[in-house]
A and B are shown apart, each in its own frame.
Chain A
């Protein structure tokens, strides 16, 4: 697929890095000659130095025959204009980053339609949503909601004193009388899809496919007995903090936001009535303790500096704050998060990159099945795809045990009429079903490719 990316900052580079793994033909546009030089040395793409909203530059980049145009420059207006021009030139799909909440209101559909923007992404809101999901299930290190169903993928580390240690999975299923499935296990840095004889040990990170209502109950067996999070402390009055606070306040949690910049504090206190805003340096441990970090349920560090976020979270972990979430942008630190003993780590740019990759895959998908959504799991080491079965799909109404399904994937669920079935050998695929496929190796682009 021909893809044009305009703007190659943090987010643009993360998108580029993910898309290049999918073997797309990519043209990168940026106004900075230095950025362009670095990109052309690092990636196998064509680079163009210029204004991504300019007609001439877009023509030179091949917009007339491109399939996807992504504008992720820092300016919303610029991105909208670039998408508009690109669409008029003949690009089939356009993605714009639009962050300003003043655009993201009820009239936004109108803007999207008129300007020909296929998808708009707001990395900050996306991150806030993800953080909110994690905070609603604090035992998990990560939670992924499957859009089409009431199920979620919960990533959780098995504790030393859990009741299920050293049990094979088939026993586990008998022991816990709920609808769930252990899909993935991470041990010693590698992710596997386990079979029924797999024995879980303490320290393993497992991926649980379970319904939202059962989640807390199931997690008890894994050694977790956490209460709902009611009070949250956020350091850094960023856009993410704003969206997250709104979501949390909506869920009746108490929120305290700390920031070093007085102006921002004033702004926040004007916009967020129910939150407590503190003006001070979050890096000061004394201040954190004074503001009650020891009694809070969760600390979320969202300042612009990765190092500061990491240090604050480590401090909170040592003080036994029940839940800490760290925002990290640099990959180097993301990779170190285990060594640093961090609990949950989120990377906004990776969230956006995952979203765009799943969108690009959906554009490419074949006639007999369609990728609806793609979820990146275990820090990108595994994936869950939601396929929709279309009328051309061949092997419908055949029991799964009679299909030769590839060993490298797991069919975690079949969603039919809003109900999720965790399939056994007798279940069948029907037209219109949505199928959730988990893979830990090569990505799956088409459902029929896993049926050999």
Chain B
């Protein structure tokens, strides 16, 4: 493995992270808050150390294979979270480092699970950093580096694959760097539109930025204790639709820009995504209507919560903890499905579900007529055997991880619903779960060990398991 190149990439990312801290720094400056200094110290120290160490390691060789890509990505995410947690501790707003780490991981992985009891008492700078981390983590830290820096490796595809979610990563244009640029431009463009729409709804710039970041990265950190519930119906609708948009594969937006609108109707992933959302909204509206006795607020709540959970954002306008069981189970199921591949959402991804179902259908057919030969196709194109078996393997690993994480969390002794839903909410990068970790409460009920396990769960979910798993395998680190 090319340790030098991996390390120097990680250091480069830390330097960029320090630069990105300018945004909360400026926010703190505008609102004249003390956390200004904690950001300033973190920036200067992190940048200097990373810069000095980088001077000492010169990556001699530029070879870079799949495993190097995976290791780089997992190390980067851990490093970024460790550095990102420092300002929280320094400013004293989250005194415990484990809590701060949990909060930062939750930010970068776009989970939005918080340990804060009173969000409204936090300084504006800190809140901005929390929300901004969603934005950075949403499209990926290394993809960002790839878009803005000169050539990092000869084979950037391995980084793109390791960081972009979904079973198949396809490039938009031949060069990875340009692909990364296009993705980020679309991402920033859509976010700006959302910011403007929110400003129209009467939010001030700070509010609209933080909420747009949260929705764009499908993160879900709010700045109010009751999340979005206090905002106007207009804002709730804008965010509900906004989140759904960020749960769509970004490649499709590029095709729209190229005026190839036809492709959108052909995408079976998008069709399935829309179908799931519509049916979930319909069922939940019907189910919760008695609670509201008002069709417009029932459908608004149902749409918002469906969109928020399905895209793994985690904003809330209603305490769905108090909803009937059917609605809760639907939301719980949506947690696992998640958004489309190539979006900022978490979960298993719709395309994996589609491929798995098609594979199941083919296998069943084979049981009925043992001599049939059938090929699994997606959008009219044959799916490689490697991809379908990759999907099955991923799903197995996914559920094994889920079970192990649940067992580990259950040591904490909280209720069944709390334990299972908190693991699901963290592993799928959603945020709020049910019962004690429902939308009106938070993760401060857990002990330090559980918080670390849940942080790992969030990273596993965001990076789609393999990179982190590879990091933990002893064979990865053997010399020969």
Q: Within the assembled complex, what's the spacing in Å between the Cα atoms of A41 and B177?
A: 15
Q: Within the assembled complex, what's the spacing in Å between the Cα atoms of A26 and B66?
A: 21
Q: Within the assembled complex, what's the spacing in Å between the Cα atoms of A18 and B154?
A: 13
Q: Within the assembled complex, what's the spacing in Å between the Cα atoms of A33 and B178?
A: 25
Q: Within the assembled complex, what's the spacing in Å between the Cα atoms of A31 and B174?
A: 19
A-B contact count (CB 8 A): 28
Interface extent on A, as a size class?
10 to 19
Instruction: State whether B66 touches A41 (Cβ < 8 A).
Output: yes
Instruction: State whether A46 touches B66 (Cβ < 8 A).
Output: no
Q: How far is the CB of A268 from chain B (nearest CB, A)?
A: 43
Instruction: State whether B174 touches A46 (Cβ < 8 A).
Output: yes
Residues of A within 8 A of B473 (CB): none
Q: How far is the CB of A51 from chain B (nearest CB, A)?
A: 15
Residues of B within 8 A of A33 (CB): 384
Which partner residue on chain B sits nearest A3 by CB separation? B174
Tell whether A35 is near chain B: CB-to-CB under 8 Å. Answer: no
Instruction: State whether A26 touches B174 (Cβ < 8 A).
Output: yes
Residues of B within 8 A of A100 (CB): none
Instruction: State whether A41 touches B157 (Cβ < 8 A).
Output: yes
Instruction: State whether A41 touches B173 (Cβ < 8 A).
Output: no
Instruction: State whether B173 touches A46 (Cβ < 8 A).
Output: yes
Which partner residue on chain A sits nearest B158 by CB separation? A41
Residues of A within 8 A of B158 (CB): 41
Residues of B within 8 A of A45 (CB): 174-175
Q: How far is the CB of B82 from chain A (nearest CB, A)?
A: 30
Residues of A within 8 A of B4 (CB): none
Residues of B within 8 A of A25 (CB): 173-175, 178
Which partner residue on chain A sits nearest B171 by CB separation? A46
Q: Within the assembled complex, what's the spacing in Å between the Cα atoms of A26 and B321?
A: 53
Q: How far is the CB of A449 from chain B (nearest CB, A)?
A: 19
Q: How far is the CB of A154 from chain B (nearest CB, A)?
A: 33
Most buried by A among B171, B174, B384: B174
Q: Within the assembled complex, what's the spacing in Å between the Cα atoms of A26 and B157?
A: 14
Name the contact of A44 in the complex, choosing from B66, B175, B384 (C-beta under 8 A).
Answer: B175
Residues of B within 8 A of A27 (CB): 174
Which partner residue on chain B sits nearest A28 by CB separation? B174
Q: Within the assembled complex, what's the spacing in Å between the Cα atoms of A23 and B174?
A: 10
Q: Mark B139-159, 1 if CB is under 8 A from A, else 0.
A: 000000000000000111110
Q: Within the assembled complex, what's the spacing in Å between the Cα atoms of A27 and B172?
A: 11
Q: Mark B161-175, 1 if CB is under 8 A from A, else 0.
A: 000000000010111
Q: Within the assembled complex, what's the spacing in Å between the Cα atoms of A42 and B65?
A: 9
Tell whether B176 is near chain A: CB-to-CB under 8 Å. Answer: yes
The answer to whether residues A44 and B173 also contact, given A25-B178, A33-B384 and a CB cut-off of 8 A, is no
Q: How far is the CB of A20 from chain B (nearest CB, A)?
A: 9
Tell whether A295 is near chain B: CB-to-CB under 8 Å. Answer: no
Residues of A26-66 at the interface with B, using a CB-CB cut-off of 8 Å, are 26-27, 33, 40-46
Q: How far is the CB of B456 from chain A (nearest CB, A)?
A: 29
Q: Within the assembled complex, what's the spacing in Å between the Cα atoms of A40 and B158?
A: 10
Which partner residue on chain A sits nearest B173 by CB separation? A25
Q: Within the assembled complex, what's the spacing in Å between the Cα atoms of A27 and B155?
A: 16
Residues of A within 8 A of B174 (CB): 25-27, 44-46
Name the contact of A41 in the complex, choosing from B155, B171, B175, B384 (C-beta under 8 A).
Answer: B155
Q: Within the assembled complex, what's the spacing in Å between the Cα atoms of A46 and B174?
A: 5
Q: How far is the CB of A267 from chain B (nearest CB, A)?
A: 42
Q: Within the assembled complex, what's the spacing in Å between the Cα atoms of A190 and B23?
A: 47
Which partner residue on chain B sits nearest A43 by CB separation? B155
Residues of B within 8 A of A43 (CB): 155
Name the contact of B176 in the complex, choosing from A23, A26, A41, A44 (C-beta under 8 A).
Answer: A44
Q: Within the assembled complex, what's the spacing in Å between the Cα atoms of A25 and B156?
A: 15
Residues of A within 8 A of B66 (CB): 41
Interchain residue pairs with CB less than 8 A apart (15): A25-B174, A25-B175, A25-B178, A26-B174, A27-B174, A33-B384, A41-B157, A41-B158, A43-B155, A44-B155, A44-B174, A44-B175, A44-B176, A44-B177, A46-B174
Please report A residues at the B interface, Cβ cutoff 8 Å.
Answer: 23, 25-27, 33, 40-46
Interface pairs A-B: 5 shortest CB-CB: A25-B174, A46-B174, A45-B174, A26-B174, A44-B176
